[in-house]
């Protein structure tokens, strides 16, 4: 790579950023496309008006923004896209001169990146979508679904009913006609529609379904009855009227290396497998395993390990799957297009990401 007087400077702003693959991806793309750019890590702890002024005077081409500065990026920007306004956060800053002054424009590529990853595997319009989680990624994905894809319904599940209620209320303000509802995290499926009930509930749900309300959400697992089936009191499920979502999107940290339900929030998390796949125990899943059925597309945005417990189970049940690194890939694709107006080498990027994750998962 040659750095000349006309080389434009880009980078990733956050803290920490040493682990980021973005410099590797973008610099590879600059070289591949012949664009005169260089992409560097900017590990910055403190933010404020001083940082905006500094960035505006550096004649930057653009920045990727990661935690913990996404909210700051949105608030400091002179203008922002629709998704950033809905989320109150941005992962991209573009710098454009206007009226003799450098302006910062905030955009969010997390939502478009997730949708593009899904589109590689399935269509979305008119389908039912279940989202696990209610954080920033879930908000960006849900909003982008409603902006561009028009799913028939969106369901939100998680462990905190108050946060779910707030999450849905915020989305409904922006999309008042959208069908957005909550689902109990122990439910074995969505409430059935006429002619669409499912009767193939897996026996693996016996410890998670059966009317145990874990979130107090509007739709609980009470629609699933239990009965004794012989000596020893073994339980089986008798489905009354439920169905599977068409698409499941998992946005919580569950399944991430060193993250499980039993140690979330602990200062010293228990070690868990870091290999290419992890055994799918109920503890590592954000929902009732009976909900996972062959007709579904399952997307886990966690990318390390590549084969999370949820994706391992989904593979076993013959679902279509979307790896977490795909969202990482396509959000960077959108950023590169915004930065340069050019198309990055997507296949080379994907190979690089897969090889890097496989290497890390083996270590």
Percentage, residues of the chain above pLDDT 90 = 69
Note the pLDDT of residue 248: 98
**Relative orientation angle of helices 324-340 and 346-362, to the nearest 10 degrees:** 140
Given the structure tokens 């209610």, which residue do they identify? 134
70 an active-site residue? yes
Q: In 3D, which of 103, 78, 286 has the Cα closest to residue 185? A: 286
* DSSP three-state, residue 261: coil
State both tokens at 296.
């579904």
User: CATH code for 111-322?
Assistant: 3.40.50.720
Answer positive or negative: Cα dihedral of 212, 214, 218, 219: negative
Residue 226 has pLDDT above 60, yes or no: no
Which fold, 8-108+326-362? Rossmann fold (3.40.50)
Residue 319 has pLDDT above 70, yes or no: yes
Residue 220 has pLDDT above 90, yes or no: no
pLDDT per residue over 50-104, tens digit each? 999 999 999 999 999 999 999 999 999 999 999 999 999 999 999 999 888 899 9
- The domain limits of the chain are 8-108+326-362, 111-322
Q: CA angle at residue 27 from 24 to 33, to 5 degrees?
A: 135
Given 70, 98, 150, 279, the catalytic residue: 70
Q: CB of 189 within 8 A of CB of 242? A: yes
Give me the torsion for CA of 188, 254, 145, 153, rounded to 10°.
10
Following DSSP, what letter does each residue of 47-108 receive, concatenated?
Answer: -SHHHHHHHHTTT--EEEE-TT-HHHHHHH-SEE-HHHHHHT--SEEEEEEETTEEEEEEE-
Q: What is the mean pLDDT of residues 220-225?
A: 40
User: Do the domains 8-108+326-362 and 111-322 sit in the same CATH topology, yes or no?
Assistant: yes
Q: Give, in order, the Cα–Cα distances in Å from 68 to each of 14, 22, 191, 261.
A: 6, 16, 38, 23
pLDDT per residue over 227-240, tens digit each? 333 333 333 344 55
Q: CB of 137 within 8 A of CB of 111? A: no
What is the pairing mode between strands 235-239 and 224-228? antiparallel
Q: What are 251's strand-pairing partners?
A: none
Q: What are phi and psi of 191, to 5 degrees?
A: -60, 140
Residue 177 has pLDDT above 70, yes or no: yes
Note the pLDDT of residue 257: 62
pLDDT per residue over 127-155, tens digit each? 999 999 999 999 999 999 999 999 999 99
Buried b vs exposed e over 123-145: b needs ≥16 C-beta within 10 Å?
Answer: ebeebbbbbbbbebbbbbbbbbb
Least confident stretch, 42-56, 105-119, 170-184, 252-266: 252-266
State both tokens at 323.
């790896």
Residue 5 has pLDDT above 60, yes or no: yes
């Amino acid at each position: 790579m040659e750095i000349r007087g006309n080389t434009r400077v880009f980078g990733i702003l956050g803290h920490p950023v040493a682990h980021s693959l973005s410099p590797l991806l973008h610099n590879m793309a600059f070289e591949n496309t012949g664009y005169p750019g260089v992409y560097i890590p900017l590990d910055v702890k403190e933010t404020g008006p001083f940082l905006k002024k500094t960035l505006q005077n550096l004649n930057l081409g653009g920045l990727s923004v990661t935690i913990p500065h996404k909210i700051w990026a949105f608030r400091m920007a002179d203008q922002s896209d629709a998704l950033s306004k809905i989320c109150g956060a941005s992962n991209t800053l573009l710098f454009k001169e206007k009226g003799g002054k450098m302006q910062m424009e905030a955009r969010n590529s997390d939502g478009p990146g997730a949708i593009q990853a899904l589109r590689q595997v399935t269509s979305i319009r008119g389908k039912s979508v279940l989202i696990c989680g209610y954080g920033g990624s879930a908000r960006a994905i849900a909003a982008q679904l409603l902006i561009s894809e028009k799913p028939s319904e969106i369901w939100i599940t998680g462990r905190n009913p108050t946060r779910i209620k707030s999450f849905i209320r915020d989305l409904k303000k922006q999309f008042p006609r959208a069908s957005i509802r909550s689902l109990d995290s122990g439910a074995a499926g969505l409430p059935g529609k006429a002619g669409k009930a499912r009767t193939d509930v897996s026996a693996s749900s016996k410890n998670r379904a059966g009317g145990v309300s874990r979130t107090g959400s509007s739709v609980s697992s009470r629609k699933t009855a239990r009965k004794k089936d012989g000596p020893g009191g073994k339980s089986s499920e008798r489905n009354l009227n439920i169905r599977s979502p068409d698409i499941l999107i998992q946005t919580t940290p569950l399944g991430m290396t060193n993250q499980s339900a039993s140690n979330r929030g602990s200062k010293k998390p228990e070690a868990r497998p870091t290999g290419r796949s992890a055994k799918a125990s109920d503890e590592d899943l954000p929902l009732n395993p009976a909900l996972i059925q062959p007709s579904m597309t399952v997307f886990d945005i966690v990318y390390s390990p590549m084969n999370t417990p949820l994706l391992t189970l989904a593979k076993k049940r013959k679902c279509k799957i979307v790896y977490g690194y795909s969202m990482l890939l396509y959000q960077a694709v959108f950023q590169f297009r915004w930065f340069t107006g050019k198309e990055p080498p997507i296949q080379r990027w994907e190979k690089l990401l897969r090889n890097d994750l496989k290497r890390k998962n083996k270590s």
